[in-house]
Amino acid sequence: MNKKQKNVLISAIILIVIVFTVWAGYGMEIFTKNKVFVEMPLTDIEKALGLAPTKTWQDKFIPGLDAAFAASAVISIISGLLIFLFKNKKKDI
Amino acid sequence: MKHTVAALLVLFLAITINAQNFSVKAKGEQKFNFADPGGRNQVSFSSETPLEDIFGTANGISGSVTFDPANFGKTLKGKLSVSVKSMQTGISLRDEHLRSANWLNEAGFPEVTFEINGVSELKADGANKVKGKVNGKFSLRGVTKDITAEFEATYLEESEMTQKRAPGDLLGVRAEFDVNLNDFGIQNDVVGTKVAKMIEIDFNVVGSNAK
């Protein structure tokens, strides 16, 4: 493995680690979500009526393990191609 | 002595029976409508999967119940409907699966309904609150099954406070029951994962008797 290939490999590993760090930072969800629910605080009338808090959905992108694997696969394919392209060509003697 | 015991017994029974009703000014049959243009009435559903728990809500609720506040247990009847289109689970793709023909089949059966047959095990829980079990016919995806749900209902007479929510007397209802998906012919595969056979459903709704 030449220097260029090593650089590509190390960059790919670092990017994949970043992808999984971001995934962990978003709460390690299994599936990617585009909405999250938020519990609304109970009003006085809702308390008097014995109701539970209403949930509302807010638009928010939460990357899941599926997205992390997809991003890692893309990084692996691109780095694999680059490693292939950067391989040393055999010289005829 | 016998008369005193009998009188006390009659008084106790009268209090007990009355305690299972609502002590309110409204007389005769009252109709409470659960359509909520504000979308705060909500049905939520949850399911456990091997990978993660699924939680969803639906706000497209319509329907009504009627009852005589003085005889709640024997006069309660009505029907509530939930629009399949209003169901959300936080993942657009999963929502599409939920509405598809394999699942709730929105095109063929746009609403999930619960028609009340009667109540049982009614108990008072405070002045204007009753708890018990409501029995009814639950229809999902064109299949109808008898379901018993635990519920509690709170009756509030119209006041300045209640008018902030809606005009008229208000009836707050919470009910919960489990549904077995297999009973309704649902293939429980969603986005590659298995959903539990049992889905827990919670009603959290307010109705108004304003005309």
Q: For chain B, what is the mean pLDDT?
A: 85
Number of residues that make up chain A:
93
User: What is the residue extent of each domain of chain B?
Assistant: 2-208
For residue range A12-57, list pLDDT tens digits in order.
Answer: 999 999 999 999 999 998 889 888 889 999 989 999 999 999 999 9
B163-184 average pLDDT score: 91
CB contact under 8 A, A31 and B202: no
pLDDT of residue B101: 87
Residue of B83, B81, B93 lying closest to B33 (CA atoms)? B81
Contacts of B51 in chain A (CB under 8 A): 30-31
Confidence of residue A92 (pLDDT cuts 50, 70, 90): low
Q: Is B180 left (phi over 0), alpha (psi -120 to 50) or beta?
A: beta
Token pair in block for residue A49: 């009526």
B41-58 average pLDDT score: 88
B31-47 average pLDDT score: 90
pLDDT of residue B36: 85
Query: Which residues numbered 3-62 in A keep a CB inside 8 Å of some CB on B?
Result: 29-37, 43-46, 48-52, 54-55, 57
Percent of chain A at pLDDT > 90 equals 70
Nearest to A49 among B44, B156, B191 (CB): B156
> What's the distance, CA B162 to chain centroid?
20
pLDDT of residue B115: 96
Assigned CATH topology for domain B2-208:
Lipocalin (2.40.128)
Bridge partners of B189, per DSSP, are B194
Interface predicted TM-score (ipTM) of this complex, two decimals: 0.78
φ and ψ of B106, to 5 deg: -55, -40
Measured in angstroms, the CA of A27 and the nearest CA of chain B are apart by 12
CB contact under 8 A, A31 and B172: no
CA nearest to A32 within chain B: B91
pLDDT of residue B16: 47
